[in-house]
Amino acid sequence: MNRTRVIAIDGFAATGKSTIAKKLARTLDYRYLDTGSMFRTLTHHAMQQGFLSEEKLDDTAFQVFLENSHFHWLGTALGFNGQALGNEIRSHEVAEKVSHMAAIPFVRAFTLKNQHELASGQSIVIDGRDIGTVVFPEAHHKFFLNAAPEVRAQRRWEELREQGQKVDLQDVLQNVRDRDKKDSDRIVAPLRKADDAVLIDTSELSIEDVFQTMLSHIQ
């Protein structure tokens, strides 16, 4: 019998979720799904195509766009409407708008449906904010990562610098704090630890430490 398994990793922005989730998926030979990249892709498209200006979204036009859109696998990578996701979804501009987009109920209904379809029939490691609570409450293993905001901002700032983006560390810290607040306060699927998730504070831990902790829980 083909038994598929789901490992859910939730937590605050820049806690190392995606690096660790990728490493786990590679080690276990599971698929990896980064759900933050889905919200980032939708935000990027909404900005590019003029559906989103400042914090105002043209709901009707964007809903029509979503009706004709879908996420899908391109090999083992994630695609959107036939295209691979590019690095532009990681920009600071997208980061500034993405929490607003992720709080919109019809956007979350769209991503939820797509996440279920993408995970169907696969063993998968999936990271995000609401995976253990809303998307896969029945996941076999659940983890929730946190770290001090200053540590997370420093990590994100280094990542952006490596990509050649010039941003101020204080702006990145402000963005991390704003997103924590917006992600935690939203009405639909707020960022919250599932009661049965294992909590790991990554402030003082290396990626390898966190990875080994998770692996020992899984095995």
Residues that bind ligand DC (CB under 6 A): 13, 35-36, 39-40, 98-99, 102, 128-131, 179, 183
Q: Least distance to ligand DC from the beta carbon of 183, Å?
A: 5
Residue with tokens 């500034």: 96
Identify which of residues 188 and 215 has a Cβ nearer to ligand DC in the complex. 188
Distances in whole angstroms, Cα of residue 83 to Cα of each of 90, 109, 124? 16, 22, 22
Q: Least distance to ligand DC from the beta carbon of 1, Å?
A: 30
Identify which of residues 29 and 88 has a Cβ nearer to ligand DC in the complex. 88
SS (H, E, C) 151-193: HHHHHHHHHHHHCCCCCCHHHHHHHHHHHHHHHHHCCCCCCCC
Determine the longest span between alpha carbons in the chain, in angstroms.
53
Identify which of residues 28 and 190 has a Cβ nearer to ligand DC in the complex. 190
Q: Least distance to ligand DC from the beta carbon of 32, Å?
A: 13
Identify which of residues 85 and 131 has a Cβ nearer to ligand DC in the complex. 131
SS3 71: strand
Is residue 131 a contact partner of residue 11, using CB atoms and an 8 Å limit? Answer: no
Q: Least distance to ligand DC from the beta carbon of 102, Å?
A: 3
